[in-house]
Amino acid sequence: MRLIHTSDWHLGRRLKGVDRTPEIEAALNELLESAKTLDIDAVLVAGDIFDVPSPTADAEKVAYNFFCQLRDAKIPAVVIAGNHDSAFRIDGVSRLLSHVGVHALGRPRKANQGGVIQLDTSSGKLSVAAMPFASERRLLKSEDLWDKDDLKQRQHYKDRIKYLLKKFTSKFREDSVNIVMAHLTIDGAIRAYSEVDYYTRDTYSLAGQTLPSEAQYIALGHIHKPQQISNAAPTYYSGSLIQVDFGEAGEEKGFNLVTVEPGRPAQVEFKAISCQKPLKVIRCHESDLDETLAANREHPGFLKVIVELNTQKIGLADKVRKVCPQALIIEPKYPEVKTKKRQQYRDANHFDAVEEFRNYWRDRQGTTPDDSVLKEFETLYQELSDATH
C-alpha cells in the first residue's frame, strides 16, 4: 500500500499582507499529480488545512477543488483539523466531503465513535486512528479547572491524550495497515518557530511514549520542519507545504511517501515539491548594502533584509524596495549599547517625556537626536496627552 502524508497547508496564509494561497494551490497541484503518478492508495492530511478558523472563499475553493480532483482520480483522503482550523467547521462539512471520498474529523472522538476510520483501498484495508488537535479546555471538565492546579491540569490533559490514542488500537486489525494520524507536538521535535508558540510547549508538548507502538506508521502535523521522531513505530512530521514564514527560509518542502503492508513497519521517503516563491533572509552591513541588493535583485520569491547600521538611516526601507520590491521585511540592526539604570519616576508630575526620549535615543543610537526630531516627538506626545484628557 502506498500513502501520501501531508500537513500544514495553511491555505489563506498572509505574510506582511501578501496572500500565499496561489503558491499553496500550485504546491497542491503538484501533490495531486504525484498522487496519480505514484499510484497512491490514500492521502493523509494531518491538520492545519487553513490558516485561520474562518478562511476566505478562495482558500476554501482551493481545498475543496483539490479533494474533488482526488475523487476523480479515485483516491480517498483522511483529514483532521489542526489548531488553526475550526473543528466545528470541519465537522460541519464532513458529510458533504464524504461524497467525494474524504473522511474528515474536526473534534477528537473515541475509537468506537468514529475516532478510527476504516476504509478499503485498491491495495487492501486501511485503518486510520485520527486525532485532531484538541485544546486543553476541550478535554478538561469544569471540575478539573476548579479542583486542579495548573500542573495537575497539564498532566491530566496529557493523560487524556495518551488514553485516547491507546484506545484507538482496539480497532486495529491484523489484516489491515494501521496508521495513527495526529496534530500535536512531541518532545524533541525541532520547530521552525512559525508555529503558534503557545500550542507547541508546556501542556501541549507530549512525550513520545504517548504514541501507540502498534501502528505501522504515525503521521504527525503541527511542526513545520519535516523530520523523523525517534519512536518505537516509524513517526514523522511531513512539515508545511510551503515556506510559511522566514523561519523556514531555504528549507525544502514536500510530502512523505509511505510504503507499508500489514504487520510491518512502513518505509518512508520524503518527496520534495518545487517552491514557487522561496523565502530568503539576507544580512549585510550598511557599507555593502548596494552590492547585496544588486545580487538579490532577481530573487523569485520574497526577502527579509537585515541591515547592520551604526546610526539610524532615514529612508532605508524605500532604498531597499527600490532595488528589491519583493522585500517584505526590512530590519535595521544597531550595535548593542549598554544602558545605564535611570531614575524611576514615581510622580507623574516630575516625568519629562522629552528628556526620556532623548535618553532612549542616546542609548539606542549612541548619538544625540536632532532638535527637529525632539520637536516632532514633543508635538506628538502633546497631541496624545490632549486626546486622553
Q: Looking at the structure, do residues 210 and 303 belong to the same domain, yes or no?
A: no
The DSSP secondary structure of 274-316, one letter per residue, reads --SS-EEEEEEEGGGHHHHHHHTTT-SSEEEEEEE-SS--TTH
Q: What is the pLDDT of residues 32-73, one digit of tens each?
A: 999 999 999 999 999 999 999 999 999 999 999 999 999 999
Q: Looking at the structure, do residues 161 and 301 belong to the same domain, yes or no?
A: no
Q: Looking at the structure, do residues 188 and 290 belong to the same domain, yes or no?
A: no
Full residue range of the structural domain in which residue 65 is found: 2-273
Q: Looking at the structure, do residues 309 and 375 belong to the same domain, yes or no?
A: no
Q: Looking at the structure, do residues 153 and 288 belong to the same domain, yes or no?
A: no
Q: Looking at the structure, do residues 76 and 195 belong to the same domain, yes or no?
A: yes
Q: Span 201-226, mean pLDDT?
A: 89
**Cα–Cα dist 344/275, whole Å:** 52
Q: Where are the extended beta strands (E) located within 38-142?
A: 42-45, 77-80, 102-105, 116-121, 124-131
Q: Looking at the structure, do residues 198 and 183 belong to the same domain, yes or no?
A: yes
Length of the chain: 389
Query: Of the candidates 66, 175, 182, which has an alpha carbon nearest to the alpha carbon of residue 116?
Result: 182
Q: At what angle do helices 371-387 and 353-365 cross, to 10 degrees?
A: 130
Q: Looking at the structure, do residues 376 and 301 belong to the same domain, yes or no?
A: no
Q: Of 273, 288, 318, which marks where a domain is finished?
A: 273
Determine how β-strand 205-206 pairs with β-strand 227-229: unpaired
pLDDT-derived band at 12 (thresholds 50, 70, 90) equals: very high
Question: How many domains, in total, are found in the chain?
Answer: 3
Q: Looking at the structure, do residues 304 and 351 belong to the same domain, yes or no?
A: no
> What is residue 142's predicted lDDT score, i.e. its pLDDT?
56
Greatest Cα-to-Cα distance within the chain, rounded to the nearest angstrom: 81
**Cα–Cα dist 168/264, whole Å:** 18
pLDDT at residue 345 is higher than 60: no
> What is residue 302's predicted lDDT score, i.e. its pLDDT?
97
17: buried, middle or exposed (CB in 10 Å: 19+, 13-18, 0-12)?
exposed
pLDDT-derived band at 341 (thresholds 50, 70, 90) equals: low
Q: What is the CATH number of the domain that holds 215?
A: 3.60.21.10
Q: What is the pLDDT of residues 266-285, one digit of tens each?
A: 999 999 999 999 999 999 99
Radius of gyration of the chain (CA): 26
Q: Dihedral sign, CA of 96, 97, 99, 100?
A: positive
The C-alpha cell of 146 is what?
A: 476548579
Mean pLDDT of the chain: 89
Q: Looking at the structure, do residues 221 and 360 belong to the same domain, yes or no?
A: no
Query: Of the candidates 69, 18, 10, 17, which has an alpha carbon nearest to the alpha carbon of residue 43?
Result: 69
Q: Of 249, 273, 297, which marks where a domain is finished?
A: 273
Instruction: List Cα–Cα distances, 186 to 9, 53, 210, 258, 284, in angstroms.
Output: 20, 24, 9, 20, 36
Q: Looking at the structure, do residues 267 and 372 belong to the same domain, yes or no?
A: no
Q: Looking at the structure, do residues 266 and 354 belong to the same domain, yes or no?
A: no
Q: Of 257, 273, 289, which marks where a domain is finished?
A: 273
Residue environment code for 225-259, b if the CB has 16+ CB neighbours within 10 A, otherwise e: bbbebebebbbbbbbbbbbbbbbbbebebbbbbbe
pLDDT at residue 316 is higher than 90: yes
Residue environment code for 333-354, b if the CB has 16+ CB neighbours within 10 A, otherwise e: eeeeeeeeeeeeeeeeeeeeee
